[in-house]
């Protein structure tokens, strides 16, 4: 059996690593790892392969940045030749990035079977490019691996045949569980001498939050004010750093908020597990904080991971700065949200995926 894994961005790497490992234990499977090059910065890509134990990609398509249309088209054009040359039995795609939908569309045209890891997630907000990617990929895919029961419900409502849907759990948690002891032992020099559970961790990268000058300015003002009471560590995404400079906002990062370079997986996981609170607009971080039991404030109006709100530690605050201040105040008062770990987030999701593939392909 010939299987090709297609990855393109950091979240894909964390999801693919345990699946590649689980399938490698089966002698009748030949695997090829294709990196589209959607994330190409060393801190955003190469270091993740090294830390996650992913094998060096067999192919790197070197697509790089571009508009959604250009990037998706470039991935499709370059993947078509790869699939025609190797004739895979199954292509596995991950998450909701442009590389994911591009690979699914090429497979659909060529009649190649597609497995989608992290299928069925919905924010119900079609202004998000990721939502379009999720919807299209799940309509093309032949095997849909869902991380939680809401994913199953969404797919059934959209007319996906029940026999295609497989509730397996969250593969990102597989990676977290495996590497948690390694991350816990890492020394972190954060520049603030912030002790565990005595600092907040910030990540912002979505266009709706960082490309709008008044919105980004308001976030920076609130975070700077809060940092007077709670030190804040802010590993800055390249897109966000560029906007901070473009909008003339560096002065707002004073106080006890430390702007850091992007971090590798292990260093960031270390900061997450020791944080008093995480403020983010990332989907994966909502899941990781829920498993770690760390209060998470998500600066989005919606989430494709509602289980993190319903069961976990996640609270949606949108772009409401008063709500953000209030929720950060609750954390400072020891009233941060506590939750529980969703079913099947047990570190064995990738094994269940490998079992399904062995039975169905």
Length of the chain: 361
* Residue 257, strand partner residues: 232
Contact 146, 167 (CB under 8 A): yes
Question: E strands, the chain, where?
Answer: 2-7, 30-35, 59-60, 90-94, 114-117, 143-146, 165-167, 200-202, 232-235, 257-260, 277-280, 296-298, 314-316
Q: In the annotation, is 322 catalytic?
A: no
Contact 114, 142 (CB under 8 A): yes
In the sheet that holds 114-117, the strands lie side by side as: 59-60, 30-35, 2-7, 90-94, 114-117, 143-146, 165-167
Crossing angle between the packed helical segments 321-332 and 213-226, to the nearest 10 degrees = 20
Dihedral of the CA atoms 100, 133, 50, 281 (nearest 10)?
A: 180
Instruction: Out of 166, 205, 237, 322, pick the active-site residue.
Output: 205
232-266 burial, b if ≥16 CB within 10 A, otherwise e?
A: bbbbbbeebbebbeebebeebbeebbbbbebbbbb
The Cα–Cα gap between 232 and 226 comes to: 8
Residue 45 DSSP symbol: T
Would you please indicate which residues are annotated as catalytic (active-site) residues?
A: 205
């Amino acid at each position: 059996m010939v299987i090709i894994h297609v990855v393109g961005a950091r979240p894909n790497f964390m999801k693919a690593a345990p699946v590649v490992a689980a399938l490698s234990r089966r002698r009748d499977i030949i695997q090829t790892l294709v990196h589209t090059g959607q994330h190409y910065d060393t801190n955003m890509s190469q270091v993740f392969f090294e830390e996650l134990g992913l094998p060096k990609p067999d192919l790197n398509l070197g697509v790089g940045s571009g508009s959604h249309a250009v990037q998706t088209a470039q991935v499709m054009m370059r993947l078509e030749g790869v699939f025609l040359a190797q004739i895979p039995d199954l292509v596995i795609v991950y998450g909701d990035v442009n590389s994911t939908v591009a690979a699914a569309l090429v497979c659909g045209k060529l009649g190649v079977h597609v497995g989608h890891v992290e299928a069925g997630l919905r924010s119900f907000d079609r202004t998000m490019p990721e939502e379009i990617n999720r919807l299209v990929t799940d309509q093309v895919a032949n095997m849909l691996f869902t991380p939680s029961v809401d994913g199953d419900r969404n797919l059934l409502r959209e007319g996906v045949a029940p026999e295609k849907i497989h509730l397996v759990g969250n593969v990102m948690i597989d990676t977290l569980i495996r590497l948690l002891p390694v991350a816990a032992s890492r020394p972190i020099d954060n520049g603030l001498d912030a002790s565990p559970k005595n600092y907040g961790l910030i990540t912002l990268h979505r266009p709706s939050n960082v490309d709008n000058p008044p919105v980004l300015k308001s976030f920076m003002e609130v975070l700077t004010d809060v940092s007077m009471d709670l030190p804040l560590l802010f590993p800055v995404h390249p897109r966000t750093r560029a906007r901070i400079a473009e909008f003339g906002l560096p002065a707002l990062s004073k106080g006890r908020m430390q702007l850091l370079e992007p971090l590798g997986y292990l260093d960031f996981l270390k900061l997450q597990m020791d944080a008093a609170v995480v403020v983010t607009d990332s989907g994966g971080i909502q899941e990781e904080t829920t498993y770690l039991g760390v209060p998470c404030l998500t600066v989005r109006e919606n989430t494709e991971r509602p289980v993190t709100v319903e069961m976990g530690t996640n609270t949606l605050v949108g772009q409401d700065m008063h709500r953000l201040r209030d929720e950060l105040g609750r954390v400072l008062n020891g009233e941060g949200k506590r939750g529980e770990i969703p079913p099947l987030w047990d570190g064995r999701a990738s094994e269940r995926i490998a079992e399904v593939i062995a039975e169905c392909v």
